[in-house]
Each structure stands twice: as C-alpha cells, then as structure tokens.
A and B are shown apart, each in its own frame.
Chain A
Amino acid sequence: MKRAIALTINGVRVEAEVEPRKTLADFIREDAELTGTKLGCEHGVCGACTVLLNGEAVRSCLIFAVQADGAEIMTVEGLAQNGQFHKLQQAFWENHALQCGFCTPGFLMSSYALLQENPNPTEDEIREGLSGNICRCTGYQGIVAAVKSVAGSAE
C-alpha cells in the first residue's frame, strides 16, 4: 500500500506516493527525476548511489524512501550553482578523474562529505574516506589528485 511522503532534494520539495519497498535511490531517479544518482550494485558495496541525507553521506540503495520522509537530501545535481561547476567538479575535470562517468556522482558526493568533515585531509585520509566508492575506469589516481587539489582551499 502506497504512502505519501515529502522530501527536500537540493532545496526543492518533492512529494510522491510510494510503496514502502521503493528505495531512496529509485525515488530520486524516478519520482524526483534526478538521474545523476546511479545504481551500481544495489546492495551497498559500490557507492554509485551515494547522496547526502541530512548532511551525511549514505548509500541511497539501502534506505527506503519512506524512511527519508521529511529529510533533506543533496544529490550531485545540487553541487553546481548558477550553471557553474562546484570546485570539486572542476577539479575532477582538470585531473582526469572520470572516464565513463558512472561512478562520478557517487565519488563527488563522498568527496563533498569528506571535505565537509575534514577540510584538509591527507592523501591517506582521502583514500580511506573514498574507500566505499568503486571506479572501474580510472585507477583512482586522478580522483585522489582531484580531491587533493581541492583540499585545504576555503569551502
């Protein structure tokens, strides 16, 4: 039986009626029509579905949309402002931190969360902070370099 829920995603209120079994990831993609958030493994190991829930990085494939009723969500679409890349996106671009781009939204959200908590991480801290995200294309060096280049700059 469906339930009415309302979330705020990137500052915009989204309402829908959903089955309890619908994951937050599917809600974001289907009901909010924000397809930046990707589905990789759908069992919590790849990080492609990473979003911020009330400011914390979470795996949206492991949360049901009904659990996020009333919550504030940030997805990759919420990074760029006024048509300008967020500095993380710019850094990913400049450091060749993406190829196919499928893992990229997840990495951007994990990186964003990492830098919110630890604005000046060491390389080890970056690697550990991003350890929950898998990339099949790049070999990670560019991703780490991108986050490093943003680390330490005023947020």
Chain B
Amino acid sequence: MEPARRCSRGVGMAGMVPAEGGLPVKPPSFEYFAPTTLDEAVALLAQHGDEAKVLAGGQSLVPMLNLRLARPAALVDLNRVTGLDYVRAENGHVVIGALARQRAVERSADVAARQPLIAAAIRLIGHPAVRNRGTVVGSLAHADPAAELPAVAVALGAEMVVTGPNGERVVAADDFFVSYLTVDLAPGEVLKEARFPALPPRTGWSIVEVARRFGDFALAGAVATLTLDDQGAASDVRVALFGVADRPVRVPEAEQVLRGERPDDDRIAAAAEAARAALVDPPSDVHASAAYRRHVAGVLVGRALREARERAQASG
C-alpha cells in the first residue's frame, strides 16, 4: 500500500523583493532537534509535518532562513546521525548517503571510476567552502531548477531511496522532481540515499552550463551521455536540461535525432536545434530572458553532445 503523498514546498530566491530598509539577514526562531538516529529524525519530521525541514548541509536552506524566505517552525538536523555519509560503488551503481558532503563525493575514487559525471557536476556547484558542507542528496531534495545534480539524476535515471514513517520506498528521478523546489517527499519522509547508474562501456558524458560568474546558479545547463556501438553509431543518447523549466527536463526530441546514427557534427547540430525548438516556454527573469535561455540551451546541448562524443570515442 502506498503512503499518501504530498510534496514538500519551499520558496525560491529568484524574484525576492527587498523590504523597506533592505533584506532581513537573521533567521526567524525555530525549534531545533539533533537526533542521533534516522528513525528519530523520521519520527520528529512526522510529528511536525509541513512545519519541519531537514537540515543537512544547509547551503541552500540556511540562506533561505537568513533572508526569511522560509520560516519552518522546526529544523531536524541530520548531522549527528552517523553512518549516512557513505559514497561507494554497489551493484553497478554509485550509491550516495544523505550526509555525504559534495567535496567528499567530488574526490571519491569510486565516483571517478564509475560515474565521473557526478564529480564534474559537483565541481560546478558554488565554491569550495559551500561544497565542504553541502550534500549531494540535499541538493537533490532541495530541487532548485537551476541545480546541476538533479539534472544529472534525471539524465542517468537515478533512483531516490526515501524513508519515512511507513517504511522505505524507491522513486525514479523522473518522478521525484515534481516542480520548482518541490519533490516527491511526504511529511515525515527523508531522502536517505541516491543511486546513480554507473557509466556503461564506450559511453561519453558532459555537463556544461552558462552562469554570470563561475559558481553562480546556472542560467541554463545541459547534461549529455552518449554510448557508441561497434559501428560508431549512438546506441544510447541522453540529454537533459536544467535552468530552463521548473525542474530538469529530458529532451527526447534531441535524443531521437541521434539514436542509431553516427553522431557527426551535422547530426549533433540538428539535435541541438531540436532541443531549442522543443523549449516552448522557458522562464524569463532578472537573470535571463526566455529567448536567451532558449538560445543558450540549444548551444549547450550541441556543446555537451560534442564533448560526450569525444569522450565516448576516446574510451575506445
């Protein structure tokens, strides 16, 4: 029996309006809990329902609290729960626990060997101090539409392991990211682990983005993987975009152009054009217009596919 699902909602930083005298910079009051087991954490979250937020790395949540864009009545801090900081290869996947810091995952030998796309995505996140505290799983649960890791999860078909008062369930990445800062987590549930499939043989990958400054949120970004068969044709292609919608999106229109075909420059350009045409309604905001996002998304899909092709060909 499936538990009733509601999605956790949050407030984003884009479009915030300064109040008289400037933005607030001190967080509002909250009840603070630092459980030492995951079961305790789940019980606390279930008890407080919508009014509670999980605190792990805090690099996305605490800025929202400081600016008073979020006002949870309770914070459940997972940092005292041991045994959640693992990152390891397991059954053809890289599995990452809730408290694995982005920097640790960036440097993991298992990640480098089995799914380097994860490390490449992390290197685009913020700055070293942010990555020392921020967690991979936290970035997934926070689901900022301009974030890199959710797009990697969608492109690779990652699985999210959710634990809650009704036990554990596994959610496919495609189903997990629902909307802007909204994921498939019911009150009381915690994203405990993310499982990323390892890179298959003869597969190249790429992640590229445009941001005003390195480390800023992306205006738009693209993730691509490309698997070559013995004839040098693309047996599998995955393209995902971030920053262009309320969640990361696969681009089947671009993938179809290449699937089964040799990925030469003309075909890749056609795939990029298909991606651009498929983007019906990208957001327009203070950072970029819809037209710019659409244009850049097409350019980035082209770049990502070419880079993925080079890596696939180099992998022999």
Contact = CB atoms under 8 A, between A and B. Distances in A.
Interface of A: 3, 19-21, 23, 26, 39, 42-44, 47, 50, 56-59, 61-64, 66-67, 110, 113-114, 129, 131-132
A21 B58 contact: no
A76 to B, nearest CB: 15
A131 B215 contact: yes
A62 B25 contact: no
21 contacts: A20-B32, A21-B28, A21-B65, A23-B27, A23-B66, A42-B66, A44-B63, A44-B126, A50-B129, A56-B132, A59-B59, A59-B130, A62-B59, A62-B133, A63-B133, A110-B128, A113-B128, A131-B127, A132-B126, A132-B128, A132-B129
B236 interface: no
B235 interface: no
A21 B30 contact: yes
Nearest to B126: A132
B75 interface: yes
B130 A132 contact: yes
B53 to A, nearest CB: 13
Listed from nearest, the 10 A-B pairs whose CB atoms lie closest are A132-B127, A20-B32, A43-B63, A42-B25, A62-B62, A21-B27, A57-B129, A56-B132, A44-B63, A42-B66
B230 interface: no
Interface in B19-37: 25-32, 34
Interface residues of B, number: 29
Interface in B23-70: 25-32, 34, 55, 58-59, 62-63, 65-67
A113 B59 CA distance: 19
Contact of B58 (A62, A113, A131): A62
Contact of B31 (A20, A43, A50, A113): A20
Given A62-B63, A131-B214, A44 B30 contact: no
Given A19-B29, A42-B25, A43-B66, A58 B132 contact: yes
Given A44-B62, A61-B66, A131-B215, A67 B127 contact: no
Given A61-B62, A129-B128, 7 more contacts: A23-B27, A23-B62, A58-B133, A61-B66, A63-B58, A67-B55, A113-B129
A43 B129 contact: no
Contacts of A50: 129
Contacts, number: 83
Nearest to B33: A20
A59 B129 contact: yes
Nearest to A114: B128
B261 interface: no
Contacts of A26: 26
B75 A20 contact: yes
Nearest to A117: B128
A7 to B, nearest CB: 15
A132 B215 CA distance: 8
B310 interface: no
B32 A66 contact: yes
A12 B125 CA distance: 34
A44 B59 contact: yes
B40 to A, nearest CB: 17
Contacts of A20: 29-32, 75
B293 to A, nearest CB: 22
B30 to A, nearest CB: 6
B146 to A, nearest CB: 14
A20 B34 CA distance: 11
A47 B128 CA distance: 10
A63 B133 CA distance: 9
A65 B268 CA distance: 51
**Interface-central residue, B59, B79, B126, B130, by most chain A CB under 10 Å:** B130
